Structures are given as structure tokens and as C-alpha cells.
Structure 1
Amino acid sequence: MTKVSFIGAGPGDTDLITLKGYKRLADADIIIYAGSLVNPELLDYCKEGAEKYDSKSMTLEDIINTMAKGIAEDKKVVRLQTGDFSIYGSIREQVEELRKLNIEFECIPGVSSFLGAASSMGVEYTVPEVSQSVIITRISGRTPVPEDESLEKLASHHTSMVIFLSVQSIQKVVKQLIRGGYTEETPAAVIYKATWEDEKTVRGTLADIAHKVKEAGISRTALIMVGDFLGDEYNYSKLYDETFTHTYRKGIKNATKSE
């Protein structure tokens, strides 16, 4: 019997799907894809005659029934989801329904948009002595957020932060972050459709980022990035320091660096 393959499609650029994901997609008989978010050019990888279903107009029951029918007919089924489905991917409910039906599945990870965004901007979330933690979250909306995970409470940690599904409420986001402890001077950025051809980036601080985003006309499909990792201050890591000894290299004692 065949199995359902959940595939993270990558952040947008069609070349950023994993090789394993590409192979499953190219060989699939049935593809259920998240049409509102997945780059439609990824469907060019599908073989001729493959059945394609856009899940934006489907219910959970529709999706599971389509999968079950395909498996019963011994067809290879792919569920093509955005970025990496382990973050805001609604995979849990699909997996639980497949388990009830004793349908086998596999999960092939992808590249999340928060990684694509950092790569597009050439930044690192974990800058030595600046920030060594990253909080991935969202503002409360129709999907509630636990009280202990409110932006205001999370902001008290002053970590690097990536906020999904919230750009439409960026003024509210900024207010909560400042109430939580970030200063107005904290660097911030919003990146629209990271790694897509029409990618757009807006940089500023918490004092002006909401205004800049409004001017840029960004209201969806964007990430909010906040923290000192976006600033001008940084420190080099110890990993490649010539005086630092680790398992694979002995450091030079009392090395004198040129001015």
C-alpha cells in the first residue's frame, strides 16, 4: 500500500524545495497543495496526468477523503504545504485523521519562511553576545494564543523574535512589544514573500516600522522580525578565533592580532 507524503514546499523560491521533496512531488499521482500560499510554479515539477487539488477551498474532511481515496486506489499522494509544515502548518489534525484510518504517512521537512527571510537579508538570529535565542510566535487573532505566550510577556526576554501571521495588525504588535520591554529604538524589519521574485523588505525600528509597512502597502504574507540581531552591533564567534581551542583545532596561545 502507498503512503501519504507531507512535503514542506520551501519559503517560495521553487529551487528551495528539498531534493527528497522534489522527488516525491515529481512522482506523485495526487497532489493536494495549499494554493493560497504555495508558489504555483512548484506544480511544474508534477508529472503529466497527475491530479491536483487546491486545499484553499477544501475542508479537513475533503482533504482526508481525497487522500484516503487515492491510497485505496494505490496512488502516490502528496500533501504540499508551505515553508516547513512544523510551524503553523495544521499538520497535526491531518496526521491524527490518517492514523484513525490506519493510513501510513511520511513527513519531509522544508525550509521555513523565517529561515528564508534571514537568508534573503543576510542576517543571523543568534549573534554572539547579542542574542542566543529565537522566539517564533504570532499575535492572537481568530486563532487564540495562550495568555502566557502573549507578545507582551514574550517581549520581556529581549530575544530575537519572528512574528508570523500578524503584519495586518502591526501597530498592535508594536504596542505590545514596547509594553513588554523592547524600546522604540529596537531594530525591526518586515519581509514580504521572502525568496519570491516579488520579495519586498522594509527596515526600521519599532518607532517607525508600522508607518513604513503601511506606506509599502504590505498587509499579508509577511514576517515581522524584531531584535538587536538586526542592529549594527555584533561580535565575532569563538569558533574561528585563532586563540580558541576546540575538538578539531588547537588555538594559538597569546596570539597577537595586527592593528
Structure 2
Amino acid sequence: MAKVYFIGAGPGDPKLITLKGHEIIQTADVIIYAGSLVNPEVISHRKPQAKVYNSASMTLGEVLTIIKEAIPQGLEVARVHTGDPSIYGAIREQMDALEEASIEFEVIPGVSSFVASAAALKKELTLPEVSQTVILTRREGRTPVPERETLRSLASHGATMAIFLSVHMIEDVVKDLLTSYPVETPVAVVQKATWEDQKIVIGTLENIEDKVKEANITKTAQILVGNFLGDKYALSKLYDPNFTHEFRA
């Protein structure tokens, strides 16, 4: 029987998809891609006869119908998601349905927008004596979050934060963060990281709201918070000449 591949397309730059994901798209008979977020160039190398569906306007049932019709015909299916499909990719419900239908599938990871944003900023998310923890989260919107995972609760850790799907609520995000972070805490907002029209806004919790509104950023953006964006940090022990390990005495 043919197989379904859940593929992480990466953040936008078509060259940031994995080689394995690229090769699967090249041979797939059916491609279902999240057209509202995935760069169309990611699937431009598909074979001419491949059937392509844009899932932006489709329901879960419609996606599954296409897959369930294709697999018995021996057609390979590429289900292409933005970033890495394991982060806000809504793939669990698809995989469970395929498992119930005894349809084989595989997940191919991709580059997430939070690491693409760090790369665009030329920053390291984890710095010695600054932050050794990265919290990936979102603010509650139409999709609720568990009470223990509210932005206010997570902010109390003071760690590096990567906030997804929340830039349209930047005012509320700032209010939640200010319950724990100092007002001078650095913040960066990266819209469409790695796309040609990528936009970066840098500020602090004191002024980031105004800067985001001035830049007219309302969606498809990553909010990165924390002192990793600053200039003060300790040097890594890994390359310290006085630090020994199994590869260096």
C-alpha cells in the first residue's frame, strides 16, 4: 500500500525544506499543502501529473477523503505543512484518523519559524548565564490554552520565550509579559521569517506594541522575548581552554 508523508516545509525559504521532504514532493502523486502559509515554490518541483490541493479552505474531513481515495489506488501522498508539523500543525487528528483506517504514514520534520527568526536576528536563543530554557507557546485566542500554561504563568520563569500565533494581540501579550518581565526586556517580532518580504521589528516591552502597529504587522509573525537579544552573556564552557572533556584534555 502507498504511504502518506507529513512534511515540514520550513518557514518560507524553499531551500530550507529538508532534502528528504524535497525528494518526497518530487515523486508524490497527490500533494495537499497549506497554501495560506506554505511558499508555493516548495512544491514547484513536483511532477507534472501530480494532483495538487490547497488545504487552506478545506476541512479535516475533506483532507482525509482525498487521502483515503488516493491510497487504495497506490498513490503516494505528500501532506505539506508550514514550519515543523509537530508545532501547531494540527497533524495529530490526521494521524489518528489514518491509523484508524490502517493507512501507513511518516512524519518528516522541518525548520520551525522560531529558529528561523533567531537566525534572521543572528541571535542564539540559549546563552550561558542568561537563559538555558526556551518556552514555545501562544496566547489564548479562539483556541484556549490550559490554565497552567497561560502567558502570565509561563512568564514567571523569566526564560527565553517564542510566542506563536499572537501578534494580532500584541497589546495583551505585552500586558501578560509585564507581570513578570522588566519593562526594559528586549523583544523582537519577525514577520514571515526567511521570506523575501520578511520584516523585523526590535524593541522592548515598553515600546514593542507601538512599533508593531507602526509596521502594520498583524499576522504570520513570531514574537521572541528575553535577554538573549541583549549583549551581555558568559562565554561557553565548550570552547574554554580551561574546560576539559572527552575530546580535549
Alignment TM-score, normalising by the size of structure 1 = 0.95
Letter in 1 for 2:211: K
Distance 2:198 2:229 in 1: 18
Distance 1:149 1:141 in 2: 13
| Aligned counterpart, 2:46 | 46
Letter in 2 for 1:115: V
| Aligned counterpart, 1:204 | 203
SS in 2 for 1:45: coil
Distance 2:170 2:190 in 1: 13
How far 1:169 sits from its partner (Å)? 0.3
SS in 2 for 1:207: coil
Distance 2:222 2:170 in 1: 10
Distance 1:232 1:97 in 2: 48
- Listed as ranges, the matches of 1:66-145 within 5 Å are 66-145=66-145
Distance 1:234 1:204 in 2: 19
How far 1:120 sits from its partner (Å)? 1.1
How far 1:235 sits from its partner (Å)? 1.4
| Aligned counterpart, 2:26 | 26
User: Aligned residue pairs: how many?
Assistant: 249
Q: Deviations over 1:180-234 (max 9, x none)?
A: x101100001000001111010000000001000000100000100001011211
Query: Is structure 2 residue 206 aligned with structure 1 residue 233?
Result: no
Distance 2:8 2:45 in 1: 14
Q: Deviations over 1:53-103 (max 9, x none)?
A: 000111101001101111011001000000000100000000011011100
Distance 1:14 1:234 in 2: 34
Query: Is structure 2 residue 159 aligned with structure 1 residue 167?
Result: no
- Unaligned stretches of 5+ in structure 2? none
| Aligned counterpart, 1:177 | 177
Q: Deviations over 1:7-51 (max 9, x none)?
A: 000111000000000000000000000010000111212111110
SS in 2 for 1:6: strand
Distance 1:205 1:231 in 2: 11
Higher Cα radius of gyration: 1
Distance 1:111 1:143 in 2: 23
SS in 2 for 1:119: helix
Distance 2:43 2:19 in 1: 15
Distance 1:247 1:212 in 2: 48
Of all paired residues, the percent bearing the same amino acid is 57
